[in-house]
Amino acid sequence: MKQKVIICSAVLCLTLTALMADSDELILHLKFNETNGSQLFRDSSGQGHDARCGGSVRCPAMRDGHGWFRLTADNREWVEIPNQPGLVPEQEMTVSVWIFPANALWQDNRPVKIGGGKIIGKTNARFDGGFVLGTDVKDGLKYTFFPEVWDSSGQRFHFLAGSFAFQEWTHLALTWQTGGQMVGYVNGREVKRIPVSNRPIGSNQNPLRIGIAPWDTNALAFGGGIDDVRIYGRELASNEVQALFRNGREGNNPEPNTPDFPDAPQ
């Protein structure tokens, strides 16, 4: 992992760190700021990884600068990016996304049971390479972060960690360093780290899909808001992940008075 040294005031340091993360090895950045009814979602990273609606399904709605993925018993929505070399890094990677989970069973106008789903991923039904970021139910109306990565031998690395609420905007991030660590973050805080193999992330020919299981478009659909999707070709440092959270979705909701983060769990 590349190391950076910055000497600055707290607010200026936050800004510079966010700018570094924006400009350094950004492979994908979907802002979902298109107009409602759009069928093409532009990649602002400059890499040309534009996303389109999956198959013959309806496109997600655009609401206040984010994608809204509607989920009912007879409707699923997702977007996908065709398989392209370099779309999933092999040695180092960071995936960052904002979500507003809203999949629930309602009774008397109250949510009584929530469901998890897959947010973003690129893997196949053999699970011999790639990654997936998802949510799982923790308890009540709380979720837990559920990332998975498969190296080039098909070995799976995963964990369930952290806690976040139903119908609240939440920032999730996952970093990977081959031969090092896989680290998960929820709202800027490290929630889990595990050692990984010396083998790179495995490749596959499937599209990268957002809002559905990448290996099966009939499974594990995500219902709710997805915004500010980013993939970097390196492992961002913890302060860079914290800056992405503190700057808010696409930098529109700065939180300069957020207290310092505690030490990460060991």
Spell out the domains of the chain, with CATH numbers in brackets: 28-251 (2.60.120.200)
- Cα–Cα distances (Å) from 195 to 88, 119, 159, 177, in that order, read 20, 23, 11, 9
State residue 104 phi and psi, 5-degree precision.
-155, 155
Q: What is the pTM of this model?
A: 0.87
Single-letter residue type at 187: N
Per-residue pLDDT of the chain (266 residues), as tens digits, is: 444 444 444 444 444 444 445 555 999 999 999 999 999 999 999 999 999 998 777 899 998 889 999 887 677 899 999 999 899 999 999 999 999 999 999 999 999 999 999 999 999 999 999 999 999 999 999 999 999 999 999 999 999 999 999 999 999 999 999 999 999 999 999 999 999 999 999 999 999 999 999 999 999 999 999 999 999 999 999 999 999 999 998 665 434 333 343 443 33
